[in-house]
């Protein structure tokens, strides 16, 4: 800083010319999730990537919506077989 200037006075000409520099203090973004603690740019990147992943999952579910009931039924049958229960025979009409 040039001698004789108080803190913040050096930016005054730039603040008048460019309204973008009028912010005196910017708070950093912060993300806490369990043991994960991110601040600033990494927190913003994690937030944006979470949104992108959620959009991808939503699109995948929308595309496979016609097969979803069958997939859930097969997953349930697999879970029952993995637990050791014998398969149930159902009568079809």
Q: What is the pLDDT of residues 12-21, one digit of tens each?
A: 666 666 655 4
Rounded distance between C-alpha atoms, residue 26 and residue 78, angstroms: 53
Per the CB < 8 A criterion, the answer to whether 8 and 14 are in contact is: no
Per residue in 77-89, pLDDT (tens digit) is 888 888 876 666 7
- Residue 87 backbone dihedrals phi, psi, to 5 degrees: -65, 145
> What's the gap between Cα 44 and its chain centre?
9
Instruction: Summarize pLDDT for 48-71 with one digit per residue, the tens.
Output: 999 999 999 999 888 888 888 888
Rounded CA-CA distance 80/62 in Å is 27
């Amino acid at each position: 800083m040039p001698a004789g200037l108080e803190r913040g006075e050096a930016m005054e000409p730039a603040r008048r010319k460019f309204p973008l520099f009028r912010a005196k203090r910017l708070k950093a973004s912060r993300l806490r999730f369990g043991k994960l603690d991110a601040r600033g740019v990494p927190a913003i990147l994690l937030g944006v990537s979470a949104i992108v992943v959620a959009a991808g999952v939503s699109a995948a579910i929308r595309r496979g919506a016609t097969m979803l009931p069958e997939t859930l039924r097969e997953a349930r049958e697999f879970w029952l077989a993995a637990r050791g229960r014998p398969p149930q025979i159902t009568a079809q009409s």
